[in-house]
Amino acid sequence: MNIFNIIYRKTQLGKTLQFIYHWINQNLVPTKIYLKRRFKKKHGFYPNLIDPQTLNEKIIWLKLYDKTELHTICADKYRVREFIKNEIGEKYLVPLILKTEQVQDLTPKNLPDAPFIIKTNHDSGGGIIVKDKNSLDWEESRITLEKRLKHNHYKKSKEWQYKNIKPLIIVEKLLQTESGDIPFDYKLHCFNGKVRMIQVDMGRGTDNHYRNWYNIDWEREPYKWSSPKDFGKATDPSEEDIEKPPTLNEMILLSEHLAKSFIYVRVDWYDVDGKLYFGELTFHHDGGNQKILPEIWDKKLGSELILKPSL
């Protein structure tokens, strides 16, 4: 590592320069250029946005050209609840405990003794899991959430649907199986209103976070589309197969109903001992910035997604 890299990465001056660089990049660089540069950094080539071929290229195209008010409603983790209630029924919603704009409302007396999760409605990522409220550092949690309320996920991701969401804090019941485990996360990727593949995330938040891929007949897919974890690891598939959930057909039917208004959407579900709960709707899986391996599958899957004007 040369002296300039040491200064840039290891000193306060370097941190200041990094902040300035990222601020300029996110606020002054035109969106299309920003997305193309980020894509090249991840994939090694610039995306073809005139005639996109790969699935990841098409996700970038959708970021730029597929924008509707419904996208914003459905990306909002609070407002999407009304959409789900109207489309498929309230029984699929995770019970809501609290909604607030003020971190000061997050106090032990305002929340139950039962486990819950605290999250914001306007960004991407996990929340604060609370299994015992008496052991939570409430002040530190409020500081963390205050920062998240001020963060606009659009600036980094350029996913338009996040740009105009009014930030809120929501508290929901923590979903757990009878054995006390966090349930598997089933993510159904829908192309033009039909489920194309199913992503199963196991062991989220642990060193044993694996991600398997299946088709609608619950056969393993021959590729991986992993996300980075700490220490250079990734959410690669596990060697062991996952048993087909008894709610699979229900998941598929409900996902295709919810997907009917979108070109591409990922519909997330939790199966808690045979009862389905809706997770979220995601329109640009990993921002189009993670490789599908073998790479030929990026193009094969891309050929199956048909782009068209916003509905």
What confidence score (pLDDT) does residue 24 get? 77
What confidence score (pLDDT) does residue 206 get? 76
Mean pLDDT for the chain overall: 93
What confidence score (pLDDT) does residue 124 get? 84
Which residues, in sequence order, are CB contacts of 142 under 8 Å at separation 6+? 103, 104, 106
- Whether the Cβ atoms of residue 270 and residue 175 lie closer than 8 Å to each other: yes
Which residues, in sequence order, are CB contacts of 302 under 8 Å at separation 6+? 52, 53, 54, 55, 56, 57, 58
- Asked if the model's pLDDT at residue 21 lies above 90, the reply is no
For the chain, what percentages of helix, strand and coil (3-state, to nearest 5) are there? 40, 20, 40
Which residues, in sequence order, are CB contacts of 256 under 8 Å at separation 6+? 190, 193, 194, 195
Q: What is the pLDDT of residues 230-239, one digit of tens each?
A: 767 899 999 9
Task: Tell me the mean pLDDT in the region 149-164.
Answer: 94
3-state secondary structure of 41: helix
CA distance 192 to 208: 33
Residue 15's pLDDT band, with cuts at 50, 70 and 90, is confident
Residue 310's pLDDT band, with cuts at 50, 70 and 90, is very low
Task: Tell me the mean pLDDT in the region 147-155.
Answer: 93
What confidence score (pLDDT) does residue 88 get? 98
Q: Is the pTM of this model over 0.85?
A: yes
Q: What is the pLDDT of residues 103-144, one digit of tens each?
A: 999 999 999 999 999 999 998 877 999 999 999 999 999 999
- Whether the Cβ atoms of residue 42 and residue 290 lie closer than 8 Å to each other: yes
Task: Tell me the mean pLDDT in the region 286-310.
Answer: 93
What confidence score (pLDDT) does residue 172 get? 98
What confidence score (pLDDT) does residue 4 get? 63
What confidence score (pLDDT) does residue 8 get? 57
Backbone angles phi, psi at 280, to 5 degrees: -165, 170
Task: Tell me the mean pLDDT in the region 59-74.
Answer: 98
Sequence letter at residue 59: I
- Asked if the model's pLDDT at residue 152 lies above 60, the reply is yes
Residue 311's pLDDT band, with cuts at 50, 70 and 90, is very low
- Asked if the model's pLDDT at residue 200 lies above 90, the reply is yes
Instruction: Output 310 or 297, whichever has higher pLDDT.
Output: 297
Task: Tell me the mean pLDDT in the region 199-218.
Answer: 90
What confidence score (pLDDT) does residue 5 get? 67
What confidence score (pLDDT) does residue 208 get? 84
- Asked if the model's pLDDT at residue 275 lies above 70, the reply is yes
The candidate with the shortest Cα–Cα distance to 252, out of 194, 304, 211, is 194
Instruction: Output 2 or 288, whichever has higher pLDDT.
Output: 288
What confidence score (pLDDT) does residue 1 get? 53
C-beta contacts of 249-252 below 8 A and 24+ residues apart: 250/276, 251/186, 251/188, 251/276, 252/188, 252/195, 252/216
HSE-up (13 A, CA, CB side) for residue 105? 11
